[in-house]
A and B are shown apart, each in its own frame.
Chain A
Amino acid sequence: MDIISSLSILALAGLIHASFQLSVSVLTLVNGHALGAKHSQQRALRLSTSFVVGATIMTLLLLSTLSLILLSVFVYEIPAVAWSAVCGLMFSVGVAIWIFYYRRSEGTSTWVPRPVAAYLTGRTKSTKSSIEAFALGMVSIFGELIFIIAPLLAASMVIINMPASWQLAGIATYTIFSILSLVIVWVSIGSGHRVSKIQKWREQNKYFLQFIAGGGLIVMCFYLYTYEVLSSAVLIGGY
């Protein structure tokens, strides 16, 4: 796979990651509570910034760790069976997102178990310092690992297939695209938009976001399967 194709796949994987909503929900609540607790706009923005930095670092750590593990497992090249397994995982997670990512109710409640959601909601209310917001940003990414593992794994495999000099650029590409949704919320809050408008937009478009997250994973699954599994089988078959 050439560099442009690899970076495009990483950008797509990052966008799929960005369409998952747990961290966006938590960030929205952190902002709402910060403003509701009579904190200044600057303080609310400081908490949001720490949250976004925490989420970014957790994404970087997860992607780097996965890449390192895969690099030590597949020293010479990634076998077709590994690509098939990751494609299977992406397909399953894509279908799972379509079926039960959002709850069929008002609001933007996701699959997250209710006690966990209540705990996170409580934490957003008691987040007062930048360190707490930073940690909450990290937790919000880790909490959605069950879904983001699919784009993360695919991205890691694409990254370790790239030349060493391009691997850092690959990690940066994925990370930048994956935090786009958080950055948009952060910029909106910073520029004076109301939390209610952001939340209304999210509620009105939740099924569209669900569709593109699941659909994106399935499209990427077929692309990678065709490119990495079928095309290599054809090449071997045709000598």
Chain B
Amino acid sequence: MGLAVDIVKHNRLKGHEQFSRDKLHASIVAACLSVRTPVGQAESIAHAVSNSVVDWLENKPEVTSQDLREVASKHLESHHPEAAYIYRQYRITI
């Protein structure tokens, strides 16, 4: 069963959206692949990080997309520091 958590995007400028584990998983996989991690390893890291984020989201009705990114990158850091770095840099590269 999916979590009923609202994600507030960009300081409420872009409205809300429902939390999607698949979307989080895909973004972690993309970060891992962009630093040339093998696909299988990227998938298993994304699975582990998504689980940790879902645990953190329990009992939270609303979080910001920034919080979600920070928590995901903190968990990703322990699995793959370089992927975590790229994941954090997404919005602050340009």
Contacts and interface: CB of A to CB of B under 8 A. Distances in A.
A60 interface: no
B94 A195 contact: no
B29 to A, nearest CB: 8
B86 A199 contact: yes
Interface string B14-50: 0000000000000001110111100100000000000
A28 B90 CA distance: 11
B82 interface: yes
Given A109-B92, A120-B94, A199 B85 contact: yes
* Interface SS majority for chain A: helix
A142 B29 CA distance: 33
A13 interface: no
B34 A32 contact: yes
A89 interface: no
Nearest to A29: B93
A120 B93 CA distance: 10
Q: Which 10 A-B pairs have the closest CB atoms?
A: A107-B92, A36-B30, A36-B34, A32-B34, A117-B94, A196-B82, A25-B94, A35-B34, A36-B33, A196-B35
13 contacts: A22-B94, A31-B34, A32-B86, A36-B33, A106-B88, A107-B93, A108-B94, A118-B91, A121-B91, A121-B93, A196-B83, A196-B86, A199-B86
Interface of B: 10, 29-31, 33-36, 39, 82-83, 85-86, 88-94
Given A32-B86, A36-B30, A196-B82, 19 more contacts: A25-B94, A29-B94, A33-B34, A35-B33, A36-B33, A36-B34, A38-B33, A105-B92, A106-B92, A107-B89, A107-B93, A108-B93, A110-B94, A120-B94, A121-B91, A121-B93, A194-B36, A195-B86, A196-B35
Interface of A: 22, 25-26, 28-29, 31-33, 35-38, 105-110, 112, 117-118, 120-121, 192, 194-196, 199-200, 203
